[in-house]
Amino acid sequence: MKRAEYKIPGGKLLVAETEVKDGVLITVKVTGDFFMHPEEAINDLEEALRGIQVSKIDETVEAFFGEKEITLFGISEKDFAHVLKLTLES
Amino acid sequence: MTETWRLIDMRIEDAPTQMSIDEAIALARPKGETPNTVRLYRWNPSAVSIGYFQSVEKEVNLEACEEKGVDVIRRITGGGAVYHDYNGEITYSLVAPEKDPRIPRDILASYELICGAIIRGLEELGVDCEFKPVNDIVAGDKKISGNAQTRRHGVVLQHGTVLVDSDIKTMFQVLRVSDAKISDKLIQAVEERVTNIRRYLGREVPFKEARDALVKGFEETFDVVLEPGELTEREEGLVRELHEKYSSKEWVFQR
């Protein structure tokens, strides 16, 4: 399990934990003090990311938020992709 | 004529009940069975509430909570961890339809407006404070109130903490501020970033005085009269149903 933290300047903290096997995301968990409505969508986001190639993080996150009516506050969708990719470097 | 909103006034309940009441009011509101509602309340026993997306193990010192008899609960709203000190904290909540002409559609603007009611209340007590985006109120650069909002089923629910005389030392024993071992020096620095009404004013402020000021803050900000009322039977029924969720390990430990 790899972990990364990303503190948005002047704002919220995003923490990601991932497990990668053969270039595929096996486990994905995102926590932090941000806001997202509806809140349960975080589970759908994690589900959408499970089983994808790590090279597809950006497009998967973008497609997820493009399809659904989700409001983010204190963070942007790019921040999710950013913190997930940070775990790959750790 | 000035509109009347319901005030659920200073109910003292445990953590699962308080969170169930906020959600029950938000669930009942779209059906039009209830008016807009403001609650002021206290938590007994004292409790830590964490944001919906937070990791309980990372944010809370569970051993310290156990030792001190402090409850731990996950909120329905995002945001950060809060220590609700029975002897030193008032929580508020506000439930209104998103379509209410007083509530800005823009989320930041709505935080600023609702926090404005708390700021007016604090100013009434003599605390000079201001909104600090995205969801805090600070007095002289120190946090005195944190706030969290959700929107669902066309309803805005915002709740937040007002630190009256919170034990700031205990606050940082039950909350984990950052990774593992923190030096005493750093704990001091963290403690210096938070204040409360008593500390700011240098005098005791009874709950009644703080409550009256907050009621006035809401009334003036929204140009309404807050009339003390009770939960409806349907809301009380929802509270009983939701209580099970909020007190379950599955809910609290889901992240």
pLDDT digits (tens, 9 = 90+) for A25-35: 999 999 999 99
Using the predicted structure, report yes or no on whether residue B178 has a pLDDT greater than 70: no
- The dihedrals phi and psi of B183, each to the nearest 5 degrees, come to -75, 155
Using the predicted structure, report yes or no on whether residue B16 has a pLDDT greater than 70: yes
Minimal Cα–Cα distance from B203 to chain A, Å? 32
Using the predicted structure, report yes or no on whether residue B135 has a pLDDT greater than 80: yes
Q: For A73, name the nearest residue in chain B, comparing CA atoms only.
A: B107
Domains, chain B? 3-252 (3.30.930.10)
A40-79 residues touching B, CB cutoff 8 A: 42, 71, 73-74
Average pLDDT over residues B120-137: 97
Average pLDDT over residues B179-203: 75
Strand order in the sheet with B71-74: B71-74, B47-50, B82-84
pLDDT digits (tens, 9 = 90+) for B192-232: 889 999 999 999 999 999 999 999 999 999 999 999 999 99
Q: Tell me the pLDDT band of B187, cut-offs 50, 70 and 90.
A: low
pLDDT computed for residue A86 by the predictor: 96
Q: How many of the other CB atoms lie within 10 Å of CB of B139?
A: 22
pLDDT digits (tens, 9 = 90+) for B144-160: 999 999 999 899 999 99
What ipTM is given for this predicted complex?
Answer: 0.96
Using the predicted structure, report yes or no on whether residue B30 has a pLDDT greater than 90: no
> A16-20, B43-47, B57-61, B180-184 — which is least confidently predicted?
B180-184
CB contact under 8 A, A31 and B80: no
Q: Are B192 and B132 in contact (CB under 8 A)?
A: no
Torsion of CA B126, B132, B137, B140, to 10 degrees: -50
Residue B13: which residues within 8 A CB-CB, separation 6 or more?
B21, B41, B43, B44
Q: Are B124 and B216 in contact (CB under 8 A)?
A: yes
CB contact under 8 A, B150 and A37: yes
- The packing angle between helices A77-89 and A57-67, to 10°, is 160
Using the predicted structure, report yes or no on whether residue B177 has a pLDDT greater than 90: no
Q: Tell me the pLDDT band of B190, cut-offs 50, 70 and 90.
A: confident
pLDDT computed for residue B153 by the predictor: 87
- Give percent of chain A with pLDDT exceeding 70: 98
Q: Residue B78: which of A11, A29, A34 has the nearest Cβ?
A: A34
Q: How many CB pairs under 8 A join A and B?
A: 56
pLDDT computed for residue B182 by the predictor: 47
Mutate to test the interface with B, among A1, A27, A33, A43 (most CBs of B within 10 A): A33
CA distance A33 to B147: 11
Using the predicted structure, report yes or no on whether residue B121 has a pLDDT greater than 60: yes
Average pLDDT over residues B130-146: 96
Q: How far apart are the first and last CA of chain B?
A: 47
pLDDT computed for residue B180 by the predictor: 35
Using the predicted structure, report yes or no on whether residue B183 has a pLDDT greater than 80: no
Q: Which of residues B180 and B87 earns the better pLDDT score?
A: B87
pLDDT computed for residue B189 by the predictor: 72
pLDDT computed for residue A11 by the predictor: 79
Regions of chain A with pLDDT less than 70: none
Longest dimension (CA), chain B: 58
Average pLDDT over residues B84-111: 97
CA distance B217 to B221: 6
Count of residues making up chain A: 90
Average pLDDT over residues B18-47: 95
pLDDT computed for residue B185 by the predictor: 57
Q: Tell me the pLDDT band of B59, cut-offs 50, 70 and 90.
A: very high
pLDDT computed for residue B131 by the predictor: 98
Domains, chain A? 2-89 (3.30.390.50)
CB contact under 8 A, B151 and A71: yes
Contacts B78 to A, Cβ<8 Å: 33-36, 39, 73-74
Q: For A11, name the nearest residue in chain B, comparing CA atoms only.
A: B134
